[in-house]
Amino acid sequence: MKNKYDVLIIGGGPAGALAGRTAAEKGLSACIVEKRPAIGAPVRCAEGIGQEALHEFIDPDPRWISAEMQGAGIVAPDGFLMKLESEMAGGKVGYVLDRKFFDRELVWKAAEAGADVAVKSRAAAPIMEDGVLKGAKIEYCGKVTNVRADVVIAADGVESKFSKWCGIDTTVPVREIMSSVQYVMADIDIDQHSTIFYLGNDVAPEGYLWIFPKGHRTANVGIGISGKKSGQGHRAKDYLDRFVKKTFPNGKTIEYIPGGVSVCRPLDCTVADNFLITGDAARVVDPLTGGGIYNAMYTGRLAAEVAADCISKGDTSKKALMVYDKTWRASKMGKAIERNYHIKEYLIKQPDAKLNEIIHSVSKMNLKEFSTISLIKEIIRVNPKLVLELGALAASLR
């Protein structure tokens, strides 16, 4: 690690890795600092990603793909299963990744492109001069080094602190944190090519429970519930343990993964002078699905592209970097977040009876395009009165 880089990236997950790789490919000096001793571990993720979303960034490789998905199922509060299938027979619709190896691959590609990587290296404080960010104090094995940079990219995840230290409020509202637990389970009876989502206030209040297959008789079995609904005796772990005891009494848990997923709106502003915020740290998780891998890679890459352009023009002020903020908000991702935020707000207010009614209205769905939005559109098509309930939002869904 040197004392000066064009771009310093805080965090070695998908956002940081894409930022580092892109910056290096643009000819900039870049360094990714990761506080943990290993890239990719511990996993804090259900590991699902859509096929097209993944392909936009990297060609699939069996070394870090646990399983290929061909369909999905949604289980209503009353136990009724709605199956979702792709119209393309036998078509792949998505993947369940092996994040330990996936994250390593992304960082390896950044390193190969020329970025420096430092693990067990924590950004302990920003370097501020005249109120402007100039880099970060990096702590490694008890020694603190000042690392200066023209641009700092925060990619420090849900537990992000760097933006807060720079005066940007990143606090997630209690009702909009998904308090989550996941077990990687072995020796369980599952359909290994389908993800399953369980809805209902008794199963997962204001959230959902998932089974994401990782291969033959093995899956990520997890749950996220609203922080508002969490408390002593009724935490995410309590709900998951009850489900597992009933559904997979003989299953074996081979990994225990707690976590937090934000389902709030993104930060009001994701830039400051010499500073860009990406991925979970920018709260760009999809509020409906809780998915964040694609959004992290997209914002990480975009942040580095904008940083490179601004550095070449000699202006990395907030005003110049605002291109980043404006671009992602206007992107397909930005629009999906805004739209899905409204859908999430509608769904969490519905009683179980209403969820049952919606899900029963369609027993089996063949989707041309396998995405959340095509699912919502199809549900609205068969439930015309939903158009009235969704109000202005419905117009944007047609």
Partner 1 sequence: MLKVHRDICGYCGCCVSVCPEGALELIDAYLSVEKNCTSCGICAKVCPLGALEVVNEK
Whichever of 28 and 281 has its CB closer to partner 1, that residue is 281
Residue 157 engages partner 1 in binding (rule: CB under 8 A):
yes
Q: What are phi and psi of 281, to 5 degrees?
A: -65, -30
Residue 272 engages partner 1 in binding (rule: CB under 8 A):
no
Residue 170 engages partner 1 in binding (rule: CB under 8 A):
yes
Q: How far is CA 95 from CA 209, 220, 233, 253, in A?
A: 18, 13, 34, 21
Instruction: Find out whether 46 and 259 touch, Cβ atoms under 8 Å.
Output: no
User: CB 172 → partner 1: shortest distance, Å?
Assistant: 4
Q: Which of 127, 170, 180 is nearest to 291 (CA)?
A: 180
Q: What are phi and psi of 188, to 5 degrees?
A: -125, 150
Residue 173 engages partner 1 in binding (rule: CB under 8 A):
yes
Q: What 3-state class would DSSP assign to 302?
A: helix
Cα(first)–Cα(last) distance of the chain, in Å?
51
Query: Out of 132, 257, 394, 397, which residue is the one contacting partner 1 (CB under 8 A)?
Result: 257
Number of residues that bind partner 1 (CB under 8 A): 36
Residue 149 engages partner 1 in binding (rule: CB under 8 A):
no
User: From the CA atom positions of the chain, what is the Rg in Å?
Assistant: 21
Query: Out of 1, 36, 125, 352, which residue is the one contacting partner 1 (CB under 8 A)?
Result: 36
User: CB 133 → partner 1: shortest distance, Å?
Assistant: 17
Per-residue burial over 236-248, b if 16 or more Cβ lie within 10 Å, else e, is bbbbbeebbeebb
Q: What are phi and psi of 159, to 5 degrees?
A: -90, 20
Residue 236 engages partner 1 in binding (rule: CB under 8 A):
yes
- Helix residue ranges per DSSP H, 67-135: 99-113
Residue 44 engages partner 1 in binding (rule: CB under 8 A):
yes
Q: Where does this chain touch partner 1 (CB under 8 A) — which range of 184-192, 235-243, 288-296, 298-306?
A: 235-243
Residue 290 engages partner 1 in binding (rule: CB under 8 A):
no
Q: What are phi and psi of 275, to 5 degrees?
A: -145, 135
Q: Where does this chain touch partner 1 (CB under 8 A) — which range of 29-37, 63-71, 93-101, 147-155?
A: 29-37
Residue 237 engages partner 1 in binding (rule: CB under 8 A):
yes
Q: Which helix (H) or strand (E) covers residue 257, if one does?
A: strand 252-262
Query: Out of 52, 56, 112, 159, which residue is the one contacting partner 1 (CB under 8 A)?
Result: 159
Residues that bind partner 1 (CB under 8 A): 35-37, 42, 44, 120, 122, 157-161, 164-165, 170-174, 177, 179-181, 227, 230-232, 235-237, 256-260, 262
